[in-house]
């Protein structure tokens, strides 16, 4: 009976209100906003950068700084999408698959070694459209079939890889459009285009969080989905929008990555899921949703990029990057959860 169902939800929220109400009685001081989750990663970034400067003389050079920016650009793009999804309380595991599908679509429609297409900008747009379609698809499966987002996007990850594999065919499609090949690394404005794209995406993400219902509703849904519904927010619609946005950015990342590599390969997104998730989590956005933001993820991306960069400079194997990313995720998730631990809290 809907009455009793409503009662239960109502009672639960009353209980929640009653419980947390009495934990904070006085108006909290503005100082509580300045705390470890916010400043910790930034401080860590500064400290580690200073440490590396002393450890390795080639760290603090212009060319290395440019290299860091280059290495950070694709993760930055992905992290903006991931941040919005995670703020909403969901997760997007599909980014590598979508990158592959978009990247291969882009290559096969540009001037390439396998077919006679030469659509130039049209190829880029097509790649982006593929990203949008995959993102929307993830959102629709999650909301209409009502399966958890990690499951839905896990499936879409593989579907994306599968589509990319089919597109790949038997020989590696090489990008032959000279303009596009070098575009990512060209520096008409002094900084690589790829980095500029990342900066633009970051700015857009910040604007979305501050000034658009896409961002604000995502925050609301992440804080309490049922309460958001009660406040007349069309939750399902906005979930689809957010996943679509993340898919679009996966497309951007896939195209950028393909330009860099010069070929269309299914592994274009390899390792990005870890890196991006680790960056968002270590930056301070909570996996449970509702807390955090794109700028925190920017800090997270740079923190991890600098660590990797330092490791590479000191000759450590790239395998360590993944190891660190994995450990970072586990540690950050455990630490973030510490604050919210309680006896009867149920987390699956």
Partner 1 sequence: MTVITENTLELVDVTKTFGSMKALDSVNIRVAPHEVVGLIGENGAGKSTLLKLLAGVHQQNSGELIIRGQKQRMKAPSDGANLGIGVVHQEQSLIVNLTVAENLHLGSAGTPGEKRGVNRLGLYNWAELNRQAETALRRIGSSIDPTTIVEDLSFTDRQMVEIAKAVQVAEHSGAEPLLILDEPTAILEPQETEILEREVARLKQLGSVIFVSHRLQEVLRVSDRIYVLRHGRVVGERNSKDVVEEELFQLMTGRESRQTANEAVGRTLGRQVLSVQGLTRRGHFRDVSFSIRAGEVCAFVGANGSGRDELARALFGAEPFDSGTFSVDGRPARSMRIRRAIRSAVAYLPSERKTEGMVAGLSVSENLTLAHPVDGQNGPIQLPGKRRAAMRRWIAKMDVRPADPDIDIARLSGGNQQKVVLGKWFLAKKLKVAILDHPLRGLDPGAKESVAQLIAEAAAAGCAIMLLADTLEEALGNGNSIIVMKDGTITERHNLAERIPALAELVEGMV
Partner 2 sequence: MSITTLNRQDKATRDLVTTGLRNFAPLALLVVMLLVVFVGQPSFFGGSGISILAGQAVPVLLLALGQTMVMIVGGIDLGSASLAVFSAIIVASTLQDLGYFAPLLVLLLGAVAGGVIGFLASHFQVPSFAITLGALGVWQALALLFSDATTVYVDQNSEAITWLVDWEVVGLPLSFVVACGVAVALWLVLKYTAIGRSVRATGFNEKATLLAGVSTVATKVFVFAVSGACAAFAGIALTAQQGTATASGLGIGLLLPGIAAAVAGGVAITGGIGNPINVIVGALIITLIPIGSSALDIDPKLQQIVYGAIVILAVAATMDRSPGRVIK
Binding region for partner 1 (CB under 8 A):
3, 6, 8, 10-11, 13-14, 17-18, 21-28, 30, 33, 210-214, 216, 219-220, 222-224, 227-228, 230-233, 290-291, 343-344
d(CA 264, CA 275): 21
Tell me the closest approach of the beta carbon of residue 222 to partner 1, in angstroms: 8
Tell me the closest approach of the beta carbon of residue 170 to partner 2, in angstroms: 10
Neighbour tally for 333: CB within 10 Å: 16
Tell me the closest approach of the beta carbon of residue 290 to partner 2, in angstroms: 11
Closest CA to 114 of 73, 38, 178, 169: 169
Taking the least distance from each CB to partner 1, the nearer of 26 and 338 is 26
State in Å, rounded, how far the first CA of the chain is from the last one: 27
Taking the least distance from each CB to partner 2, the nearer of 39 and 147 is 147
d(CA 256, CA 268): 10
Q: Which does 322 bind (CB under 5 to 8 A by kind): partner 2, partner 1, none?
A: partner 2
Q: Residues in the chain, how many?
A: 348
Nearest 5°: the CA angle 240, 246, 250 is 140
Tell me the closest approach of the beta carbon of residue 77 to partner 2, in angstroms: 20
d(CA 216, CA 201): 18
Taking the least distance from each CB to partner 1, the nearer of 216 and 260 is 216
Token pair for 129: 């459209």
Q: Which does 60 bind (CB under 5 to 8 A by kind): partner 2, partner 1, none?
A: none
Taking the least distance from each CB to partner 1, the nearer of 239 and 278 is 239
Tell me the closest approach of the beta carbon of residue 285 to partner 1, in angstroms: 12
Token pair for 61: 């050079």
Chain residues that interact with partner 2, rule: CB under 8 A: 5, 8-9, 89-91, 93, 141-142, 145-152, 154-163, 165-166, 168, 225-226, 273-274, 277-278, 281, 287-289, 317, 319-320, 322-323, 325-330, 333-334, 336-338, 340-348
Taking the least distance from each CB to partner 1, the nearer of 139 and 257 is 139
Closest CA to 90 of 15, 18, 146, 131: 146
DSSP 23: T
Tell me the closest approach of the beta carbon of residue 315 to partner 2, in angstroms: 15
Taking the least distance from each CB to partner 1, the nearer of 58 and 212 is 212
User: In terms of C-beta density within 10 A (0-12 exposed, 13-18 middle, 19 or more buried), how is residue 162 classed?
Assistant: middle
């Amino acid at each position: 009976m809907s009455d009793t169902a409503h009662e239960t939800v109502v009672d639960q929220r009353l209980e929640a209100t009653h419980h947390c109400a009495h934990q904070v009685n006085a108006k909290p001081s503005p100082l509580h906003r300045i705390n470890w989750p916010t400043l910790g990663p930034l401080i860590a970034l500064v400290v580690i950068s200073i440490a590396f400067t002393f450890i390795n003389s080639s760290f603090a050079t212009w060319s290395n700084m440019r290299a860091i920016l280059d290495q950070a650009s694709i993760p930055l793009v992905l992290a903006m999408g991931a941040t919005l999804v995670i703020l909403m309380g969901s997760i997007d595991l599909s980014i590598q698959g979508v990158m592959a599908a978009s990247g291969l679509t882009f290559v096969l429609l540009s001037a390439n070694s396998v077919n006679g297409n030469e659509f130039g900008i049209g190829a880029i747009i097509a790649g982006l459209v593929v990203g949008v379609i995959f993102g929307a698809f993830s959102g629709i499966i999650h909301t209409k079939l009502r399966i958890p987002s990690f499951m839905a996007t896990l499936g879409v990850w593989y579907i994306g890889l599968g589509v990319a594999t089919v597109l790949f065919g038997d020989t590696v499609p090489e990008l032959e459009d000279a303009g596009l090949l070098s575009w990512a690394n060209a520096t008409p404005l002094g900084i690589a285009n790829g980095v500029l794209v990342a900066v633009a995406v970051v700015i857009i993400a910040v604007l979305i969080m501050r000034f658009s219902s896409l961002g604000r509703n995502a925050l609301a849904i992440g804080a309490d989905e049922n309460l958001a519904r009660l406040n007349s927010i069309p939750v399902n619609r906005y979930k689809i929008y957010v996943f679509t946005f993340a898919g679009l950015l996966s497309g951007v990342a896939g195209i950028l990555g393909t330009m860099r590599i010069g070929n269309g390969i299914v592994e274009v997104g390899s390792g990005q899921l870890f890196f991006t998730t680790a960056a968002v989590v270590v930056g301070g956005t909570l996996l449970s949703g509702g807390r955090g933001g794109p700028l925190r993820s920017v800090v997270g991306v740079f923190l991890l990029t600098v660590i990797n960069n330092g490791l590479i400079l000191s000759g450590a194997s790239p395998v360590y990057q993944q190891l660190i990313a994995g450990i970072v995720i586990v540690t950050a998730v455990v630490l973030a959860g510490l604050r919210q631990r309680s006896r009867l809290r149920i987390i699956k």
